[in-house]
Structure 1
Amino acid sequence: MDQLIVEFDKALRTIFAPARSVRPVPGGDLPDAPLSDSQREHVAGLMRVNHCGEICAQALYQGQAIMSQDASVRRELQQASNEETEHLAWTEQRIAELGGRKSLLNPLWYGGSFALGLLAGKLGDRWNLGFLAETERQVEAHLSGHLERLPAEDQKSREIIAQMKTDEARHADTAIGLGAHELPAPIKAAMKLMSRVMTTTAYRV
């Protein structure tokens, strides 16, 4: 029961409480670039997608950590989760600066990702790590795409996404170093499809 309460508290904090960052916000000392209304709306939409992705990451890691039997895997998941919390704080702040809002479907994204994390964790720690590595690879590619779609003059958003991309790549490398199994191609394709549905929806809702 105590563990259930702790996990439920984590979920509520992730979805509804303001996230906090130990590290300074990347680009926080840069001036805001003059953006048109349409550009600000576009960037806010991209940041909403990134914030939603971090909500999903928190839920995935929480579910995976609950099922993991290996202390080193749990430590890695916790470290990744801590940095994803910082990403939450950075994207949340940038959304507010742009006059945007977070996704209205965050509770739904969290619940679905938590269930996937439990499933991945139940398959065993090597597959658990494989799921972590593939998730981070796909997120890194997704962030690279956002860097291409951002207005060139919006350096504040670029700094945030660039640091997130660096962190995600490191998480993937660590998981591989701990013995992650390579996921089968159909599972990778299914993950990409689910990610596409989430990102397309979160950009607008």
Structure 2
Amino acid sequence: MEKFIEGVAYYCSCMMLFNLIFALKMISDGVLKKEFHTLEQYIDIDFITFIFALLFLLSGIFFTLVILFTHEKFGKATLGKKITAIEVRELTTDYYFTNFSLLVLTGLSIPSCNGWASCLIYFFILVTLGIVYIKKNAFYINPVLTLFDFNVFECKAKENKKNYIIVIKDRFIKENEEITLPNVNKKIIRIN
């Protein structure tokens, strides 16, 4: 369950820009009416979809702050494990522009202020991308972390031949570099 929650947190962080773009597009398309007399006139399916986009945007901001400001700790359960990284592959630059453009173009292409159709399309895209993102451990897609100088690497450990996805701040991992991992039981290991 912890791995699923971790995946959801990284996914919400990743989709923050998508939800921001979609919400701004809805505003420009007139979801916020200038003149209204009663709340019933104001609330319709487009407005509810807009509120959901804002809620998902806020959850993305929250999870991004959690990711940025929590640090992996060494404790009794894990004292840290040193590995030598071989077969290092940087995932950030390999996939950044392709996936970033996917999020931006998708956010701009969804019809907004179009009633149930736009609502269903929005949720279908959100859920489908979420399932793929979490199931395939696509943590390297996150453009928000890239903006905060995090890099994502896939490394194979010389000692146990396991592959690790490592998110590291402000530096790169080189082949044959020794790295201390704080928790080797996670799908994604973050080193600040």
Q: TM over 0.5, yes or no?
A: no
Bigger proportion of residues as helix: 1
TM-score under structure 2 length normalisation: 0.39
Structure (1 or 2) with the larger CA radius of gyration? 2
Bigger proportion of residues as strand: 2
TM-score under structure 1 length normalisation: 0.37
